Structure 1
Amino acid sequence: MDVLSDVLAVLRTGRPRSMLLGWDEPWGQEFAAVPGALGFQVVLSGSCWLLPPGGADPVRCGEGDVVLRPYGRAHALVSSPEVPYAPCAAEPGPPPRGRDVVTLCGAYETDPARTHPLVQELPEWIHVAPSAELGAAVGLLAAELRRPGLGTDAAVPALLETVLIYLLRHWYDARPAAATGWAAALRDPVVGAALRALHEEPGRPWTVASLGAHAGRSRAPFAGRFTALVGRPPLGYLTWWRMTLAARLLRDTDATVAVIAHRVGYRSEFAFATAFRRHHGSAPGRYRRIT
C-alpha cells in the first residue's frame, strides 16, 4: 500500500476544484481561506508575485512555477508587491485570450479535524520549479479546463489529484537523508514497511511484536524506531488511523456500523463504538447523522 495515496484518499472531502484565471496588469487578487484545503497555484503564462499568509516576504513566480499551500490559508497573487489586491470573485472557466498573466488554481479539500501528520509537517508554502512530469500533468489539467468534453467531470479531479501527488512527492524526495519525521519515516526501510502494512491491512489484529517481525526487527528496537520517526507508538498510530478511516466510511458510505467495525479491526460493534466515541467525542451513529 502506498501510504501517501491512502492518506489522501481517506482524508479528502467533497470534490477537488480547479479553475483558470487571467488578468491584465496592474492587478492583485486575494484568495479566501479554505480550512483544510491543500491548494496550489500554477503560473501558465507571464509572471506574478505570491503574497503568503502571515506577512511573509513576497515570492516571485515565473511561467511554469507551482506554489503548494498545504493549509488553505488566505493569500494573494499580484502583478507586483506594491499593487493593492481585491477579493477573488471569478467564476470557473477559461480566461479571455490576450491576458498578461494566466494561472491555474486548484484545491483538494480535506477534513481539518482529521489532518494527517504527513501533511501537518509541511511548511506554510512550497515553491516548485517546473519539471517534465509536473508540467505534463498541469498541461493536461489546463487543457480539460479550456476545452471541456466528454469525461471532463471525471478527468479534472483525477488530474488535480495527480498534480498534488507530484507536488508532495517532490517535497519528500527533496528532503535530505538526515531528515526527521515523516520525510524519514516514509523512506526508512523498517518504519516504512510497517506503515505500508498498517495501511494495507488496518483491520488485522496487529501487535507491536507482529509489526516488528513484519518489518524485520525485534519488538523493542522496532517500537523505539517507529515512535521516534512517526511521533506515536505503533499501536497508537494504528488506533488513530483506524478511527480516521472509520470516520470516512461513516461519512461517505452506507456500510453498517458492524461492517465498519470489522473492517477497521474490531470484533464487536460495542468495542468499536466505545473506541470511536473516545476518539471523536460522539457515537458512530450520531457522527454519521451530523457529518
Structure 2
Amino acid sequence: MDALADLLAGVRARSAAFCRTVLEPPWALRIADGARLALVTTVRGHAWLVPDDDRDGGEPGVSQPVRIDEGQVAVVKGPAPYVVADEVSTPASVVVGPRNRLTTMDGTDITEEFLRTSAGRESPDSSVIVSGTYSVTGDVGARLLAALPEVALVRAADITSPVLDLLVAELAAARPGQHAVLDRLLDLALIETVRTWMGGQRGEAPGWFRAQGDPVVGEALRLMHDDSGAPWTVASLAARTGVSRAAFARRFAELVGSPPMSYLADWRITVAADLLRGTDDTADAIARTVGYANAFAFSAAFKRHRGISPREHRAGSR
C-alpha cells in the first residue's frame, strides 16, 4: 500500500449525508454538519463556497469565497460552518445539519418538504449540486487533512476515472442497494479528486506524494507502509531499492523532506496512536505491530513524539 492509500483508508463516506439537490436562484445553504471533509460538485450552473459569519477562526474551514463552476469538483475541509450559495451576497435561508437534517434559520425542521420540493423542480436556471460528507477519524486521517488546503478544486475533466458520471447516473433513480453503491462511488470520487489535485500541484504537493513517483524513494515508501513493523534500517531500505546507503538517505531526504528513519518513526507512531484509540490491544502488542521491541521502547518513542505516554493518549480518547 502506498502513502496516499494508507491515509485515505481512514476516510469513509456516510451515505446518509449524500445528496443531489436542485436549487432555484436565489439560494444559499448554511452547512453546519460538523463534517471534517466534504465533496461538492456542480452538475449544472455554479456555486459559491462562502465563509460563515459565525466561523471560529481557530477551526479549519472555508475562509474566503471560492467559486465552483459547472464541471468542477471541490474537496472542502471542515468542521467550521460555511455557506454554499448562488452568489456571495445571498443570505442563507436553510441550515444543513448532521445527517442531512434541514432546518430554517430559526430551527424549524423542513427536511422532507425541502427534499421533495427540490427533487420535483428543474429549470434552465437551476443549479444542480451533488455533495457528500466523509467521516475522518484518527491520526492517520488527520495526516490527509493536513496535506489538503481549505478547498481543493479540480476540473472533473482532469479526473481520468468516470466515477463522477457514475455517481450522477446512480442518483437518477432509487434502486435496491443504492446506499451501498453510493458509499463506494463516493469513496472513489474522493480518491480520484485528491490524487488529481495533488498531481497538479507540482512543487506544492506534500513531499511524500511527489516522492511516490520516484523509483527509489517511492519503492522505499511502499515498503514502509506495507510493513511498518519490519526492522527497517537505512541500509536495508537502500539494499531493497538498489542504491548505496548514502545515496538513498540523501535522495529520500531531498524528496520527502525528512530523513528516512524520521519519516518511519513518525508513521509508526501515527499508526500506533490509532491502534491505541481504536483497539484494546496491549501496549506490548501494539509495540511489536509497529516495529518496537517492547512496550518500554514504544512508550519512550511515543512520549518523545507526542509529549504524553501511550496510556495517557488512550485514556484521553475514550
Specify the alignment match of 1:41 in structure 2.
Answer: 40
Deviation at 1:121, TM superposition (A): 4.2
Percent identical residues: 36
Q: Classify 1:74/1:227 alpha carbon distance in 2 versus 1 (closer, same or farther; 3 Å).
A: farther
Structure 2 counterpart SS, 1:226: helix
On the 8 A contact 2:139/2:273 being kept in 1, the answer is: no
Paired residue for 1:193?
Answer: 219
The total of aligned residue pairs comes to: 287
Going from structure 1 to structure 2, the CA distance change for 1:13 and 1:261 (only over 3 Å counts) comes to farther
Distance 1:152 1:286 in 2: 42
**2:69 maps to what in 1?**
61
AA aligned to 2:119 is P
Contact 1:50/1:61 (8 A) holds in 2: no
Q: Which residue of 2 aligns with 1:204?
A: 230
Q: CA deviation at 1:204?
A: 0.5
Does residue 219 (structure 1) correspond to residue 218 (structure 2)? The answer is no
Aligned to 2:59: none
If the length of structure 1 is used for normalisation, what is the TM-score?
A: 0.82
Deviates more, 1:108-117 or 1:73-82: 108-117
Q: How is 1:137-286 mapped onto 2 (pairs within 5 angstroms)?
A: 137-142=163-168, 150-176=176-202, 181-286=207-312
Asked whether the equivalents of residues 13 and 111 of structure 1 are also in contact (C-alpha less than 8 Å), the reply is no
User: Take 1:44 and 1:179, find their aligned partners in 2: how far apart are those partners?
Assistant: 27
Selected match of 1:96 from 119, 125, 148: 119
CA distance in 1 between partners of 2:294 and 2:85 (Å): 56
For the 8 Å contact 2:41–2:131, the answer to whether it is kept is: yes
Match of 1:22 in 2: 22
Paired letter, 2:67: V
C-alpha contact 2:38 2:133 (8 A) present in aligned 1: yes
In the alignment, is the contact (CA less than 8 A) between 2:6 and 2:225 conserved in 1? Answer: yes
Contact 1:178–1:184 (CA<8 Å) still a contact in 2? no
Instruction: Give the aligned residue type for 1:61.
Output: D
Describe the SS at the equivalent of 2:37. strand
CA distance in 1, matches of 2:278, 2:43: 35
- Stretches of structure 1 that go unaligned for 5 or more consecutive residues are none
Shift of 1:277: 2.9
Closer, same or farther: CA 258–152 of 1 in aligned 2, 3 Å: farther
Root mean square deviation, CA, Å: 3.3
In 1, are the aligned partners of 2:3 and 2:208 still within 8 Å (CA)?
Answer: no
Instruction: Work out whether residues 18 and 105 of structure 1, in 8 Å CA contact, stay in contact via their aligned partners in 2.
Output: yes
> Does the CA-based 8 Å contact 1:29-1:85 persist in structure 2?
yes
1:25-79 CA distance string (max 9 Å, x none): 10122324847x23221113333333363335x42411x3211224655433221
- Alpha-carbon distance between aligned partners in 1 of 2:158 and 2:120, rounded to the nearest angstrom: 25
What are structure 2's unaligned runs of at least 5 residues? 52-61, 102-110
- Structure 1 residues 190 and 127 mapped into 2: Cα distance closer, same or farther (>3 Å)? same
Q: Map residues 129-140 of structure 1 onto 2, 5 A cutoff.
A: 129-131=155-157, 136-140=162-166
Distance 2:287 2:174 in 1: 41
1:233-257 per-position Cα deviation (integer Å, ceiling 9, x unaligned): 1111111111111112222234333
Task: For residue 137 of structure 1, report the CA deviation from its aligned partner.
Answer: 2.1
State the SS of the aligned residue for 1:203. coil
